[in-house]
Structure 1
Amino acid sequence: MKKQLTLLISVLGLTACGSLAIMDKSEAVKAQPEMLIKTDGDLWGLGGDGQFTLGATYEGKYSRDASTSTWFNTISTKDGSMAAEVTNKDSGKTWLLSCSGGGGGTSVKFSMLQFGGDSPYICDITSQGEPAGTFLLERDAKVIDFGTENKEKGSIAVDGIHFDVETVHTGSGLMMPLQNPLGYSFKLKGQEVAAVQTNGILTVQWLPEMTAQQNDVLAVGAIASALSWRPAD
């Protein structure tokens, strides 16, 4: 029953009264131009492997995989991974991402309750062969989850630049939060400075006062979040 309800809510999120459900954003971020993340993989351009561009400045390639196994309709094991290369075409600087986890691990379902299966989503980030930072998202510590909203929070830190990150499950026209996120919000000192829409279309918006170095970190974070292929997705 819960799976059926989740599917119905997800469909409502995709349609939102006949139109694409756009994630909630701050007015300042919403006013900024949208930069598309364009991919050339299979499965409507995304798929397991491909190349991408982010706006006019960033490009790269990615490879991702997710698998789920279930025994006795009770015990589930989920595994996911994603690797990506992000390049700033203007500066020539490149970052390599190695990501895994996110709702995976082993979980046990009993009636309407589910235990475990909340492993964090982690990306190790390197640049020029040296460790450069980390992208992390994890669910709030809860033993039992009765709701449908899989809220995650975390951060990205690259070359000493840090942003808080959280999933966004609400959008215009929706009656209730969705289980899976519509996108991701990036914040600096509590203020939203960027938003990554992942529901139906991949777009990035960020405030114009961000420095070039901050833009680089936001671009890396956008790819780490938007191209993640996690078992919970």
Structure 2
Amino acid sequence: MRVVIAEDLVLLRQGIARMLAQDGIEVAAEVGDGAALVTAVVAERPDLVVADVRMPPTFTDEGARAVLLLRDRFPDLGVVVLSHIVEPALALRLAADRPARFGYLLKDRVLDIDDFTAAVRRVAAGGTAIDAQVIDHYIGGAGPGGLTAREREVLSLLAQGWSNAAIAGRLFISERTVDSHLGSIFTKLRLPPDTEHNRRVRAALAWLRGETGAGSDVPA
């Protein structure tokens, strides 16, 4: 796997590069702004980008805008976006209609090497990695939206990219029970029979959009 890193803080950028390299991931380029990110991706054609949301010159949304452009130009490019704060509406805008190969993590997560590299690999493989704090923002005060409380728990963990086995361990239930909950979730969200991976990704997107009743107050 080849990765381009876009982060204006040099120490953090170098730290991420070292973490990825230690995990056997090749860092194709390291850049410090959105324009350089686009140039590096065009030149290097990496499998995945790790990008800060806010970069020079204005430190507003340069990174996010670069990611949107790159996702449109290179549909198979994996993207892991890093942010200091929870911005659920931005996460939804970046995921758009393609939550596959997309991650939105708070920078605090970078401090946990195993979690971070696992999220990077999961996104590169076609999955999602949405930070738990972003998900908690949606769940707070949510109505049932047709899903039971347990089904919302299962779906929120799915949106974070957890496997069935990991969900079972986290909720202290069997994998068969997780399978049952997911079957009910897919039915309630009217997701047609498809590959298991595609349905999981589409369910994660439905969750982000608030179609489960978990985020209807968040603007698109």
The answer to whether TM tops 0.5 is no
Q: Which has the higher contact order (CA 8 A, sep 6+)?
A: 1
TM-score, structure 1 normalization? 0.28
